[in-house]
Homo-oligomer: A and B are copies of this chain.
Amino acid sequence: MRLSKRGEYGLRAMIVLAEPVDKNAMPVVQIKEIAQREQISPKFLEQILLALKNAGLLHSKMGVGGGYYLARSPREITLGQVFRVLDGPVAPIKCVSQMSYEPCGCPDEQTCGLRQVMGDVRNAIADILDNTSLADVVKRQSTVRKKLGIK
């Protein structure tokens, strides 16, 4: 479960989009703005957001005043969903992947001790990523900010 820059930027952008904005009916945010706030190359971010859109996690509005917005409530989008779109399976090795299994080359999968342990690792990672929503992250951030007396 290595987080690539692609995955990192995508997750950061999704978290930005999940932050509570002034109660507009449609809190559309432009690529440019996200890129600036998070110090990301706008052109690179473009590709990433497009991928998230094609995966159904984001919607967009073209033209003047357009931008991106979450396809569902922040409570209903998990980090696991975003991660899998951008960085693929969560499992450290294909033979323990739930979403995209493939055999590795070991003599006997059933009795392979390494596979058992890696299965545990996969489950530990998936437990966290699939049970943490964008809303959870935003909440956690603001808790820390309060504790530190920031903003």
Contact = CB atoms under 8 A, between A and B. Distances in A.
Contacts of A137: 113-114, 116-117
Nearest to A92: B3
Interface in A103-136: 104-107, 110-114, 116-118, 120-121, 124-125, 127-129, 132
B12 A125 contact: no
A145 B110 CA distance: 9
Interface residues of A, number: 41
Nearest to A93: B3
Contact of A93 (B8, B106, B114): B8
Interface in A13-54: 15, 37-39
